[in-house]
Amino acid sequence: MFTIENQVSGKIFQTDGTDSILDDALIHGLNFPYGCQKGSCGKCKATIIEGEVGYEGEIPSGITPEEVADGMALLCQCRAKSDISLVVAELDSVADIEVRTLPCKVEKIKRLNHDVIQVFLKIPGSESLQYLAGQYIDLIHPDFDPRAFSIANAPTNTSLIELHVRLVEGGKFTHFVFNELEEKSLLRIEGPKGDFFFREDSKKPVILVAGGTGFGPIKAIIEHAIANKLNRQIYLYWGVRDEVDFYMDLPSQWANDYDNIHFIPVLSEPNDEWQGRTGFVHESVLNDFDDLTGYEVYACGPPKMVKSAADTFINQGMIKDNFFADAFVFAYTGNNNE
């Protein structure tokens, strides 16, 4: 195994040299920049300070012989031949990422419960969509207006996009997705979009508040934190109406497997057999934390839930700049009196 270190961020990961350095960086949760992933656009160039890299076949067109002589490499094509020390500016802002329109194919559709399905979209060829954990895309079908859906998987395999789609009563598009959309269908996506993304360089403990399918982008954030081996304390509060509305068992698995991840399920309309938390999900956070000053809070779900969380958390000491909400749902900009 070889060790790869980015001297800019200080982040380190390991590779066996089988895959490209870029692929291994993404698998380990690092936001290395890239574009075409074919070796032609040059967006993934980095400077190799120490170590040796190699290419399969000829040197790609996206880098000149002069740049190679100066110690530069195309990370999407080169493989490590030894331990590597390199310099590359990792993406940490939505402003760093290009919004693109790409074709995609419905790879898989899986019904998760009575009103939520999981849709996997495959971007064909060697194309991919670079995004930050928590962002969303617009799904484009010729018979409907574009619809926004949060990306539910971490940016480790960015040619495969996971969506969680809830059936909305009277919703023509979600009715189509549930009852007519077929695997191998062709669609388009536009993105990534939104300023709701995980600030991974912070050291603050994290409170994640999800309502319904607001769990999707929260799932992406937790998966990204796990891939990056972040040791920050993470408290996940997932609120739904009834126990059957919890459409994934992942939160319990995370809590069992990682000491720093804690899961608190909350039901607003429980049956008599439910022994857990009840009420509004944001109220469980307020009951558990007397002072939210030192925490970052990420909230995604129905607008009323997110606004209630923002208003009440501010009153309990949360710093406004430490509150992040899905941009197409609600973004807190008010004060304590709103």
Task: For the chain, list the domains and their CATH numbers.
Answer: 2-90 (3.10.20.30), 95-193 (2.40.30.10), 206-325 (3.40.50.80)
Interval 275-301 mean pLDDT: 97
Considering only 80-89, 120-129, 190-199, 272-281, which range has the smallest mean pLDDT?
Answer: 120-129
pLDDT of residue 31: 83
d(CA 157, CA 152): 12
Unique residue bearing structure tokens 């971490």: 154
pLDDT at 156 over 90: no
State the pTM of this model.
0.80
CB 240 within 8 A of CB 268: yes
CA-based radius of gyration for the chain: 21
Per-residue pLDDT for 85 more than 90? yes
Statement: residue 269 has pLDDT above 50: yes
Q: What angle do CA 43, 47, 48 make, to 5 degrees?
A: 130
How many residues are given for the chain? Answer: 338
Residue 243: pLDDT over 90: yes
The mean pLDDT of 148-163, rounded to a whole number, is 91
Q: State phi, psi for 190 to the nearest 5 degrees.
A: -130, 130
- For the four alpha carbons of 303, 308, 311 and 316, in that order, the dihedral sign comes to negative
Q: Using a pLDDT cut of 90, give the percent of the chain over it.
A: 70
The mean pLDDT value for 116-132 works out to 89
pLDDT in tens, 33-60: 887 778 888 889 999 999 999 998 888 8
Position 93 scores a pLDDT of 64
